[in-house]
Amino acid sequence: MTTLSTLNKFKKDGTKFTCLTCYDSMFARMMEKAQIDTILIGDSLGMVVQGHNSTLPVTVADMVYHTANIARSNEHALILADLPFMSYVTLPDAIANSRQLMQAGAHVIKIEGGSELCELVTTLAQAGTPTCVHLGLTPQSVNVFGGYKIQGRGDEAANKLLEDAKAVVKAGAALLVLECVPAELAKAVTQAVTVPVIGIGAGADTDGQVLVMHDMLGMVHGRVPRFVHDFLTDERNTEHSVEGAFALYKQSVREGSFPNSQHEFS
Ligand code: KIV
């Protein structure tokens, strides 16, 4: 079973680890077979499961439902679950909603933002709830960004992101996710913090990689993001199976062949 200690050891010895989003039981079982290290019940389920065009409509009840489905079906992975949009603005809301996700089977709660989350991160850590802070392109803030855009470009933005990362780690964050940031910045953050960093569209130098499961199985509605690779139709997946795609993803991340320079931003 993967724990935070496993991931910390991976960071120390340079073993690249895998994360995939997952929302239902059968896929969670297949990910267990492929020994995917960590699973994220992402609020991306608003798009890939519910058909919305953003993560904003997702509720705590939705997240609890999907988290429980996964927790029943996978004993290998460390399970991360998103607190959805506006469910952690106040400390009492954040605590009550985190409790629901942890009781549904999450091991780590993921929240989006920067240093403004420090008080919440410390409070949850003291209450036995590890957090993963998602920085860079944080989809719950799509209306602040004015679209899904690369973040952390330019010295000022890069510095702010680096300082935010250090601050939340100092406050007690157990993991970081970096989404759609220049590869060089992701490398600097990964080297600057003591906790494991998981990247998506953040280059090859983060400690772990995450992809939305539907994307890596070639099920994309609209434009395929640059950082996505279709592991289902990859010729190395000789069985052309979903399980084969998960196994190939794990192998590719471990050996360092995914992601490569074609998948990163500068
Ligand atoms: O909700 C999600 O799937 C995510 C990943 C893109 C990291 O946050």
Query: pLDDT tens for residues 39-86?
Result: 999 999 999 999 999 999 999 999 999 999 999 999 999 999 999 999
Query: Pairing mode, if any, of strands 197-200 and 108-112?
Result: unpaired
Which three-class secondary structure string do you get for 38-104? Answer: EEEECCCHHHHCCCCCCCCCCCHHHHHHHHHHHHCCCCCCEEEEECCCCCCCCHHHHHHHHHHHHHH
Q: What residues flank ligand 1, with Cβ below 6 Å?
A: 21, 40, 42-44, 82, 134, 177, 179, 200, 210, 212
**Model confidence band, residue 212 (pLDDT cutoffs 50, 70, 90):** very high
What stretch of H or E contains 132?
A: strand 131-136
Q: Give me 172's structure tokens.
A: 């007690």
pLDDT at 141: 97
Confidence of residue 210 (pLDDT cuts 50, 70, 90): very high
pLDDT at 90: 97
Amino acid identity of 66?
H
As given in the structure block, the two tokens for residue 173 are 């964050």
110 CA: nearest ligand 1 atom: 8
Q: How many domains does the chain have?
A: 1
pLDDT at 68: 98
Mean pLDDT calculated for residue range 92-98 = 98
C-alpha closest to that of 168 among 136, 199, 142:
136
Give the separation between CA 176 and CA 180, rounded to whole angstroms.
13
Protein residue closest via CA to atom 8 of ligand 1: 42
Q: Whose CA is nearest to atom 1 of ligand 1?
A: 42
Instruction: Return the best residue to mutate from 70, 210, 214 for the ligand 1 pocket (most ligand atoms within 8 A of CB).
Output: 210
Which atom of ligand 1 is least distant from the CA of 43? 1
Segment 167-191 mean pLDDT: 98
Atom of ligand 1 nearest to the CA of 210: 7
Residue nearest to atom 2 of ligand 1 (CA): 42
The confidence score (pLDDT) of residue 139 equals 97
Burial profile 44-66: b = 16 or more Cβ within 10 angstroms, e = fewer? bbbbbeeeeebbbebebebbbeb
Separation between Cα atoms, residue 231 and residue 218, nearest integer Å: 7
Res. 223 pLDDT band, cuts 50 70 90? very high
pLDDT for 108 equals: 99
Question: Counting every residue, how long is the chain?
Answer: 266
CATH number, domain with residue 140: 3.20.20.60
Q: Is 184 a catalytic residue?
A: no
Residues 102-143: tens digit of each pLDDT? 999 999 999 999 999 999 999 999 999 999 999 999 999 999
Q: One of 75, 119, 179, 255 is an active-site residue; which one?
A: 179
Domain encompassing residue 205? 4-263
Question: What's the confidence (pLDDT) of residue 34?
Answer: 98
In the reported structure, the alpha carbon of residue 33 is separated from the centroid of ligand 1 by a whole-number distance in angstroms of 22
Task: Report the candidate in 176, 201, 179, 180 with the shortest Cα–Cα distance to residue 191.
Answer: 176
